[in-house]
């Protein structure tokens, strides 16, 4: 039986992150052969991974990394089973190391097949499954390239990337603010112009049905009814729709006895309210059409415009769970 020294155990522990006794037992089984001991630990990881294959990796750590010239970024989630492991310093450090590797690849498939310290990323996940005792997986992988890429990570639970069309003087501030917007407000697309008309029509019908059902209950309870919108997106607010809305507003002002000479001061506010009431889908899902989180009086599009000749080319979001 080979004599196993504390130094050999420590070396294997540093290389794999496995516990002291696991490392000692692996070295004993491998008769002191370091490479064979790593293989022993890997096989243990495979056994654990097989047993936990049906588990959900619903916790973990979200990480965002941007390359040195700020033209490419990646957001990944290293998933695990429990929040306790997800918050562990060594686990988060591993997630950061993996994200550095992920920067060099454009797909999750290529990333998990990439080299990571002499083994593939996939094998590293299996090894660490054996070390930690929980199923580990890359549950999210998002890559973004642009003339300027910014990132933001919210308590290792949400990682966001934003691409800008140019590196303006205020790109760092703008990029950080927009990444925070993406992380906190969960937009799914850039603009209402990206919506398919059939999706907007179906969503309109569904939302109106929900509000009308809610109003039945509110009416029964004698409470104030919710506003039932005619529309939910700027994609539906054609010139004809806006012209009719303005005429309706004027009719209302006349019925209220408001002097015609002051209508010009009142109408802009009414039209803004009409747009706000009838673009709820845009405000929820479209980054540029959302209210800016640091100043809800303006839209994200207006905030971007205040930074000069720059536009948002795209964004990505990766979340734990």
| Residue 223 burial (CB count, 10 A) | 10
- Rounded to the nearest angstrom, the gap between the alpha carbon of residue 118 and the centroid of all alpha carbons in its chain is 31
- Rounded to the nearest angstrom, the gap between the alpha carbon of residue 88 and the centroid of all alpha carbons in its chain is 21
Q: What is the dihedral of CA 180, 186, 191, 193, to 10 degrees?
A: 170
Looking at residue 118, the DSSP 8-state letter turns out to be T
Rounded CA separation 38/30 (Å): 9
The whole-number mean pLDDT for each consecutive block of 10 residues of the chain, a chain of 321 residues, reads: 77 75 80 80 67 77 97 97 93 97 97 94 90 90 98 97 96 97 95 95 94 92 90 96 95 92 93 92 95 94 96 97 87
Assigned architecture for domain 6-51: Orthogonal Bundle (1.10)
Position 47 scores a pLDDT of 65
Position 262 scores a pLDDT of 94
Instruction: Confirm whether pTM is higher than 0.75.
Output: yes
Q: Where in the chain is the domain with CATH 1.10.8.10?
A: 6-51
Q: Where in the chain is the domain with CATH 3.30.479.20?
A: 59-185
* Fold for the domain defined by 59-185: Tetrahydropterin Synthase; Chain A (3.30.479)
């Amino acid at each position: 039986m080979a004599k196993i020294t504390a130094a050999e155990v420590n070396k294997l522990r540093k290389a794999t992150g496995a516990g002291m006794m696991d490392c000692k037992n692996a070295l004993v089984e491998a008769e002191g052969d370091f490479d064979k001991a790593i293989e022993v630990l890997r096989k243990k990881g495979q056994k654990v991974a097989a047993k936990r294959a049906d588990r959900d990796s619903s916790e973990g750590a979200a990480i965002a990394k941007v390359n040195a010239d700020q033209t490419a970024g990646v957001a990944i989630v290293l998933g695990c089973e429990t929040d306790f492991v997800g918050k562990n310093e060594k686990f988060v450090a591993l997630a950061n190391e993996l994200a550095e590797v992920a920067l060099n690849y454009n797909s999750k498939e290529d990333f998990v097949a990439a080299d990571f310290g002499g083994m593939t990323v996939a094998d590293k996940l299996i090894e660490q499954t054996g070390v930690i005792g929980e199923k580990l997986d890359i549950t999210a992988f998002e890559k973004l390239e642009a003339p300027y890429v910014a990132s933001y990570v919210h308590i290792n639970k949400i990682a966001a990337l934003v691409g800008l069309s140019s590196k303006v003087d205020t790109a760092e501030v703008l990029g950080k603010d927009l990444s925070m917007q993406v992380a906190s407000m969960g937009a799914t697309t850039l603009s209402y112009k990206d919506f398919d008309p059939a999706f907007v029509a179906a969503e309109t019908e569904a939302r109106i049905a929900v509000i009308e059902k809610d109003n039945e209950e509110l009416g029964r309870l004698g409470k104030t009814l919710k506003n039932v919108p005619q529309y939910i997106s700027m994609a539906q607010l054609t010139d004809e729709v806006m012209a009719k809305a303005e005429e309706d507003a004027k009719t209302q002002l006349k019925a209220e006895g408001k002097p015609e000479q002051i209508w010009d001061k009142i109408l802009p506010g009414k039209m803004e309210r009409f747009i706000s009431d009838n673009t709820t889908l845009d405000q929820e899902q479209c980054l540029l059409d959302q209210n800016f989180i640091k100043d809800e009086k303006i839209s994200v599009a207006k905030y971007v415009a205040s930074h000069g000749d720059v536009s948002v080319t795209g964004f990505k979001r990766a979340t734990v769970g």
